[in-house]
Structure 1
């Protein structure tokens, strides 16, 4: 019997790639300005000018200045789900979840931070004092959980209880969220601080340890 693998979707069109690139340019411009001036001190006009787009283009893609950083905050979750989707159905679900999350958070080589993690740290720190930015972060996590469900449903198999699959999706998403928040608020200069991947492993095991679907997969 051959191992089940996810079907590959069609690659994005040139228009879709250009749209995604523009959104990412705007997101980076917003993150830079938030770091320099804070969300309160930044206007949508300044973000559009920094990104080199018209203000109407900004509002074509984003509803608010805080909403503009969504693509940066969601990129890590996108990477994690893509890695998880590539897991074979023969891999125990608990192992697949943890391995994909570690791979998505592990820093390359001896680097302290990659670009995505650097932006995430700054934005999560800024979100402490900005309710609208926190709302974007929570929305990104909710959307990630929803996109995770069909992947987990396939990996868990047809006999899995849908309620248990949903609980796993919620717990795994929260594990990564808490790990990133804890890491972001730690002292960036503390050489003894745990890495995002180390925190994720701890959070994942604590939050999913009692779930029957994963307990069976660990056996």
Structure 2
């Protein structure tokens, strides 16, 4: 799901319905697990008809994709606000730190929900596939953002490499955090782990930007 606001009332209502279904699915997954949850239960919990559920989602696992994509959407939106030509690694780190911060109860709840879903995905291949698909889509949407920020300093292949590495760094940080009992802030938090992962890549990224390449 995109973070850009829907352009019409109908689209806004559709987006709101999708989010309501996503929250219902996440709540049921947390209390009884994906295996014991049916699409019918999710629809009933969200207060919609089953046909409405399938209008928006292909499966019960797919229903939580808007929640899993929300963090990546926030990160990309923050990166889109950065100036072209800015230091790319710094822009990636700053956006990651801000998008994974937990300044209020809503942000904290969202992160904890993500942890619950990632833990559930460990035993549910279909849910894990949704997580991987969300990350792949995030990487693809990140490519033009990185290209704009690079401002001609990187070739097409290099842009794709940076987008792939950055997206995977965030994914690995969240997966690592989900395996622990670390809090949403401080040492071991998603933001701290994301910064650590991105900094492991920063040397290679700076080399790419410094050398440039016409390849691709």
Q: After TM superposition, is the score higher than 0.5?
A: yes
1:59-98 alignment runs, 5 A limit: 59-98=54-93
Output the CA distance in 2 between the equivalents of 1:33 and 1:103: 29
Cα contact 2:68–2:114 (8 A) shared by 1? yes
- Superposed CA deviations along residues 140-178 of structure 1, whole A, max 9, x for unmatched, are 000000000111111111342111110000000000000
- Number of residue pairs the alignment of both structures matches: 208
Alpha-carbon shift at residue 115 of structure 1 (Å): 2.4
For residues 91 and 208 of structure 1, do their structure 2 counterparts lie closer, same or farther at Cα, with a shift above 3 Å needed? same
Under a length normalisation based on structure 2, what TM-score does the superposition of the two structures give?
0.89
Q: What TM-score does the superposition give when structure 1 sets the normalisation length? A: 0.88
Say whether 1:161 aligns with 2:164: no
Partner of 2:32: 37
Task: State which of 116, 123, 128 in structure 1 corresponds to 2:122.
Answer: 128
Q: Does 1:207 align with 2:201?
A: yes
Structure 2, unaligned runs of 5 or more:
none
Q: Report the CA distance between 1:14 and its aligned residue.
A: 1.3
SS at match of 1:209: helix
Equivalent of residue 172 in structure 1, options 163, 166, 177: 166
Q: Which runs of 4+ in 1 moved over 6 A?
A: 189-192
Root mean square deviation, CA, Å? 2.3
Q: Is the 8 A contact 2:154 2:209 kept in 1?
A: no
Displacement of 1:216: 6.3
Instruction: Indicate conservation of the 8 Å contact 1:70/1:140, yes or no.
Output: yes
Greater mean deviation of Cα atoms: 133-142 or 191-200: 191-200
Residue 30 of structure 2 is aligned to residue 21 of structure 1: no
Aligned partner of residue 7 in structure 2, secondary structure: coil
Cα distance, 1:106 vs structure 2: 1.2
1:5 matched residue in structure 2: none
Is the contact made by 1:168 and 1:208 (CA closer than 8 Å) also made in structure 2? no
Alignment CA distance shift 1:189-1:89 (3 Å): closer
* Runs (5+) with no aligned partner, structure 1: 1-8
